[in-house]
Amino acid sequence: MNKCTLCHEGQYLNKHVVFSSRRDGQVVVVEGVPALVCDVCGDRIITEETAREIEHIATGTPVHSVPLYHFPEKVA
Protein backbone atom coordinates (compact mmCIF):
# COMPACT_ATOMS: atom_id res chain seq x y z
CA MET A 1 0.00 0.00 0.00
CA ASN A 2 1.18 3.51 -0.72
CA LYS A 3 1.52 6.28 1.80
CA CYS A 4 -0.76 9.25 1.91
CA THR A 5 0.46 12.20 -0.14
CA LEU A 6 -1.26 14.68 2.16
CA CYS A 7 -0.35 13.74 5.71
CA HIS A 8 2.51 11.36 4.86
CA GLU A 9 1.43 9.20 7.77
CA GLY A 10 -1.62 7.25 6.79
CA GLN A 11 -2.04 4.54 4.25
CA TYR A 12 -4.62 4.35 1.53
CA LEU A 13 -7.16 1.62 2.12
CA ASN A 14 -9.76 0.31 -0.29
CA LYS A 15 -13.13 1.58 0.85
CA HIS A 16 -16.51 2.53 -0.44
CA VAL A 17 -17.44 6.14 0.00
CA VAL A 18 -20.31 8.52 -0.60
CA PHE A 19 -19.31 10.79 -3.40
CA SER A 20 -21.02 14.08 -4.04
CA SER A 21 -20.54 16.54 -6.82
CA ARG A 22 -22.48 19.15 -8.68
CA ARG A 23 -24.17 18.74 -11.99
CA ASP A 24 -26.00 21.65 -13.63
CA GLY A 25 -26.16 23.38 -10.25
CA GLN A 26 -27.72 20.33 -8.63
CA VAL A 27 -26.01 18.31 -5.95
CA VAL A 28 -25.55 14.73 -7.05
CA VAL A 29 -24.73 11.98 -4.57
CA VAL A 30 -23.41 8.55 -5.45
CA GLU A 31 -23.12 5.88 -2.77
CA GLY A 32 -20.81 2.91 -2.71
CA VAL A 33 -18.06 4.48 -4.79
CA PRO A 34 -14.83 2.49 -4.62
CA ALA A 35 -12.03 4.74 -3.45
CA LEU A 36 -8.69 4.71 -1.71
CA VAL A 37 -9.09 6.46 1.63
CA CYS A 38 -6.29 7.54 3.96
CA ASP A 39 -6.80 5.94 7.36
CA VAL A 40 -5.38 9.00 9.12
CA CYS A 41 -6.56 12.18 7.39
CA GLY A 42 -9.33 10.79 5.22
CA ASP A 43 -7.90 11.94 1.91
CA ARG A 44 -9.71 10.18 -0.92
CA ILE A 45 -8.50 9.06 -4.27
CA ILE A 46 -10.72 7.76 -7.02
CA THR A 47 -9.47 6.47 -10.32
CA GLU A 48 -10.21 8.25 -13.58
CA GLU A 49 -12.27 5.27 -14.60
CA THR A 50 -14.37 5.56 -11.46
CA ALA A 51 -14.79 9.30 -12.02
CA ARG A 52 -16.03 8.62 -15.54
CA GLU A 53 -18.42 6.02 -14.23
CA ILE A 54 -19.78 8.49 -11.68
CA GLU A 55 -20.37 10.97 -14.50
CA HIS A 56 -22.25 8.30 -16.38
CA ILE A 57 -24.29 7.18 -13.37
CA ALA A 58 -25.22 10.78 -12.56
CA THR A 59 -26.96 11.14 -15.92
CA GLY A 60 -29.30 8.26 -15.15
CA THR A 61 -32.35 8.02 -12.96
CA PRO A 62 -31.59 8.42 -9.24
CA VAL A 63 -32.50 5.51 -6.97
CA HIS A 64 -33.31 7.89 -4.14
CA SER A 65 -33.66 11.53 -3.40
CA VAL A 66 -31.91 12.65 -0.26
CA PRO A 67 -32.55 15.52 2.12
CA LEU A 68 -30.24 18.37 1.32
CA TYR A 69 -29.12 20.71 4.04
CA HIS A 70 -27.15 23.86 3.92
CA PHE A 71 -24.86 24.89 6.72
CA PRO A 72 -25.75 28.43 7.79
CA GLU A 73 -23.20 31.11 7.08
CA LYS A 74 -21.78 32.59 10.22
CA VAL A 75 -21.32 36.32 10.24
CA ALA A 76 -18.08 37.08 12.03
Binding site for Zn ion (CB under 5 A): 4, 6-7, 10, 38, 40-41, 43
Nearer to Zn ion, 14 or 61 (CB): 14
Nearer to Zn ion, 3 or 23 (CB): 3
Task: Output the smallest distance, CB 74 to Zn ion, in A.
Answer: 28
Single-letter code of the amino acid located at 66: V
Specify whether the CB–CB gap between 45 and 12 falls below 8 A: yes
Kindly tell me the burial class for residue 48, based on how many C-beta atoms sit within 10 Å of its own C-beta (0-12, 13-18, 19 or more). Answer: exposed
Task: Output the smallest distance, CB 56 to Zn ion, in A.
Answer: 29
